[in-house]
Structure formats: C-alpha cells, structure tokens
Amino acid sequence: MRKRIEMRKTIKLLFFLMASGSLQSQVFNLDDAIRIALSNNHGILIAKQEEAAFKTDVHPGAAGLLPTVDANGGGSYSYSQNNQEFNGGIFPAIEGMEASQNSQAAKVSASYLIYNGGSRIRMYSKLKTSSSLSETQTKITIESTLIQVVNAYFEVARLSNQLSLIESSVNLSRDRMERVLINYEYGNSSKIDVLNAQVDFNSDSSRYVSTELNLKRSKNELNYLLGREISIDFKVNDIVEIPEVKKASEYIKKASENNNVILLSNIQLNMAELDKKISSSNFMPILSTNLDYGYSGSASDVGVFKSASSIGYTGSVSLKWNLFDGLKKQRALEKAKINIEANTSKLEQTRLNIEKEVQNYYDALTQNIKLLNLEKNNKAVAEQNLERSKDLFNNGSITSLQFRQAQLNLLQVENRINDLNYGVAMYHYQLLRMTNELVK
C-alpha cells in the first residue's frame, strides 16, 4: 500500500509538470512566422542593407559618363624692409626702404571624356546588371532564411504533437501500472508484472521529459530566426493540410523560368559578356577635352609695373590611341572570352542541379503522401488492436507485456504519421522555394 501511495505521488508530480508545461502565452501560424522573419531576421536585414548600399554606386558618374569640374585658387603676400649702399659713394645710401608684393590666382577646370570605344556606356550597363545581381542575391538569402523558419516552425509543431502522443502513452502506462499494483495487492499479478509496468511508465515519462526539452530548444531556434527574445513562449498551429500536387514537369518548368539561383547564373553570364565588350573597347582611341577659365593678378611696390592682372579661358582637345601595350589588351580579351564559356557551363550546371533537386523533392513529396495514407489505414488497425488488448488485459486474458506491445504499436504508427505529415509539408515548401513562390 505504501508503495502504491509513493507511486501515485510520483504520478501527480509528473502530471503537474505536464500541465504547467502546457500553459502557453501566444499562438501564431506559419504566415505570422514568415511575416515576423521578413521584418526582424538579422540576416535578412543585413542582406537588404548591403543591397541598398550597393545600389548607391549605380550612377552615371560612377561609370565616367559625367564631366569632372575642379576649382582651385591661391594667393601670396610678401613684405620686406631693405637697406642699400652703392659702390663708389656716387649715390646716397638707402636705409629702411619698405617693399611689398602680393598675387592672387583662381581657376576652374572642366574635363570630359568624349569617346573611349563605348567602354563607359558598357560600364554603366554593368553597374545596373550588378545591381540586379545584388537584388537576386538578397532574394536567395531571404529564401534560404525563410526555409529555415519553415523548417523550425514545423519542427516545433511536430514535437508538440509528439509530446501529446507521449502524454497519451504516459496516461495509458499510468492506468496499467495502477491496475497491476491493485492486482498485485490482491495476489492476481506477480512482482515481475509490477516491475515491468513501472519500467514502462518510467520510460514513457523519461521520453516525455526529453521531448519537452527538444521542443524548448526548437522554440529557441525559431525565436532566434524570428529575431526576437529567445525566452518568448508560444504555441503553433499544428494542422497540416495536404497540398495539391501538380505534375513534376510543371514544377521543373516553373523552376527553370523563375528559380533565383538560375536567374543569378544568368546575370553572371550577362556580366561576363559585358566584360568582353569592355575589353574590346580598349582597342579604340580615346578622345577627351579640357576647358580652363582663370584669373591671376599681382601688385608690387618695386619693378616697372605697379600691378598686373589677366582673365581668360583656354580649351583643348586631345586624342590618344594606344598602338601596343605588350599584348595586355589581347590577354584581357581572351580572359573575358574564357570567362563567358565558364559562366555558360556554370549556367547549364545550375539548371541541371535545380532540375535534379526539384525532381528529388517531388519524388519525396509524392512518396511521403503515399506512405501517409498507408499509415493512416494502419493507425485504424492499431487503434482497434489496442482497444481489444485493453479489454483482454482488464479481464486477465493477456499479459501486461502483450498489452504494452499493442500500446507501442499504436504509438509508433502515430509517430510515423506525425513525421510524415510534416515531411510532406516541408517538401511542399521546398518546391515553393525552388519555383520562386515562397515569398509572395
């Protein structure tokens, strides 16, 4: 009897912990998680800030399409007191003669590169293409981060469901243990039956505590990805809807047209082609012009002129054509051509890799849906088996170990269904990422 009382105290303590652990402060769905991540995730914010900083360089002036204008000026002043004595004594000596001089100058210069083989136009096009590259890289970062958010969200939901399943198993093990203890007191069960029941109850309780810890860690991970306090507690919507599955060819077609990694490779190829055009421009002459407008003036107490000044402008046009530079231009052009070939191969490799990943995710999605349907049918059988075993156990027709096996069979089926549910959802979202439909 004392042992039975002690076990009941243990059971009450465990269920108090279970009840206190189930009190949550916030419920939100996956769309909420994605919205919060887009606003708060530090990786996404950094990527957006870097993109904004890069776009400041997309300007005609950065490509040399605008003239340069410089202004400079200066002035000087000197003062002296002179003593002079002439040879021969013909002229009287001069003492304390004061003299001062000053001068000023100012100039505005403007220069403009009129022609350099179209290199500046192509450089400006490259800057705009680089901006598209930065924008696409940001999108890839956002997609990568959001798929982590989706995965973390589903992991919280999966573990929450698993915790509920284990809690049901703990309840069943508790009922079984109490019944075995009563039977043992009346001599209808053996000591080994009691020990087995206690071991099973403790195992289920331990599994509950371990799963609760894993759930807490998963919540911490999701809070981290959402860029908010790690200690915030919450509940998630654990309802998983089976998505409508299209043909594999439709996913592959969408991915080939819209996947951001493929778009990035396309942009890199375009930049390589622009580099080739820029290298070709180096073979052309350079025509430039320069215009100066300036003023200069001076005044002096000595000399023939007391003051002088000038104001005016000068203009010049220069033509430069490099005829030989040690074949540097030729080597740069050859390198640009090789880079185009490399980026073309990279694009084809990327297309094949994306097609492979889409096919793999599609196969995993469809197979998991098939397995899920099979396990749902299996669950109905396992539930019937457990109910029948419970009746047989209560009237003493089967042993506690046989009842335990029926219990484990149902728990295993329910866990597989739980895993498959979120596996299907995760593969579906991976396909959305591959087809550039994750962020709407």
pLDDT given for residue 27 in this prediction: 84
pLDDT given for residue 246 in this prediction: 94
Per-residue pLDDT reduced to its tens digit, 313-329? 899 999 999 988 899 99
Please state, in angstroms and rounded to a whole number, the distance separating the CA atoms of residues 59 and 122: 13
b (16+ CB within 10 A) / e for 180-216: bbebbeeeebeeebbebbbebbeebbebbeebbebbe
Secondary structure letter of residue 62 according to DSSP: G
Residues for the chain: how many in total? 440
Dump the DSSP string for 343-374: HHHHHHHHHHHHHHHHHHHHHHHHHHHHHHHH
pLDDT given for residue 91 in this prediction: 66
pLDDT given for residue 18 in this prediction: 52
Q: Would you kindly state where each structural domain of the chain is located, as residue ranges?
A: 2-68+117-285+325-434
- CATH class label, 2-68+117-285+325-434: mainly alpha
Please state, in angstroms and rounded to a whole number, the distance separating the CA atoms of residues 16 and 118: 78
Is residue 24 pLDDT above 50, yes or no?
no
Average pLDDT across the chain, whole number: 89
pLDDT given for residue 9 in this prediction: 52
Token output for 367? 């197979």
418 CB-side CA count, 13 A:
20
Per-residue pLDDT reduced to its tens digit, 172-191? 999 999 989 988 888 888 89
Per-residue pLDDT reduced to its tens digit, 117-146? 999 999 999 999 999 999 999 999 999 999
Q: What's this model's pTM, rounded to 2 decimal places?
A: 0.85
Element (H, E) at 317: strand 307-320
Mean pLDDT of 248-262: 97
Torsion from C-alpha of 179, 184, 189, 195, nearest 10 degrees: 80
Per-residue pLDDT reduced to its tens digit, 336-353? 999 999 999 999 999 999
